[in-house]
Chains A and B, each alone.
Chain A
């Protein structure tokens, strides 16, 4: 079993739709939970991060973490064509080397159709 599971998609939605992206994980040591957006041939861009269960909102984006179920979600409201990208969930735990080791999901490719 992979430490982080994410559906690769692709996911196609019409403009204005609510998008739900999800990941599950198995490692209870994960402390921080992140969502990155990656446009084609570009570096990942940090969208949101959190370390506690519950919801965190930033504009059209809401990140949700349920540690008891080992499940995280990203919701995008009023989706726009510019949201078309690959969304990577990521989780980190302190490594013995003294840094936060990040484990990524495989990424979900999202296409928002005008």
Chain B
């Protein structure tokens, strides 16, 4: 089973809202990722948790906050977003250091009004 699940599938939020995106995998992978993808662009890496250690992309605004409750779950907390943050948010997982491939979830399509 190479499935990564994400909820919700769609999300509409105002700029003052707080919401969370959720991701889950049961492949025993030790690395999980958040990507942002705008239309007609490739995915851009936002955050990585590898062996419970967070790697931060320093260009990501603080209004995005990741959380990894355990090795199977990954959350992305959203607060005070801007309309330009509207995008497809993708979660992925891989085995870890030697995990050569990343498996993606279906994504959450976010619209910020």
Contacts and interface: CB of A to CB of B under 8 A. Distances in A.
B107 A46 contact: no
Contacts, number: 74
Contact of A98 (B33, B40, B53, B102): B53
Contacts of A107: 40, 42
Given A43-B90, A43-B107, A31 B101 contact: no
Interface string A91-114: 010110111111011110000000
A31 B42 contact: no
A101 B90 contact: no
Interface of B: 2, 4, 6, 31, 33, 40-43, 45, 48, 50-51, 53, 55, 88, 90, 94, 96-97, 99-107, 109
23 contacts: A32-B101, A42-B106, A42-B107, A43-B105, A43-B107, A46-B101, A46-B102, A49-B100, A92-B102, A97-B50, A97-B55, A98-B50, A98-B51, A98-B55, A98-B96, A99-B48, A99-B94, A100-B99, A100-B100, A101-B45, A102-B45, A104-B42, A106-B42
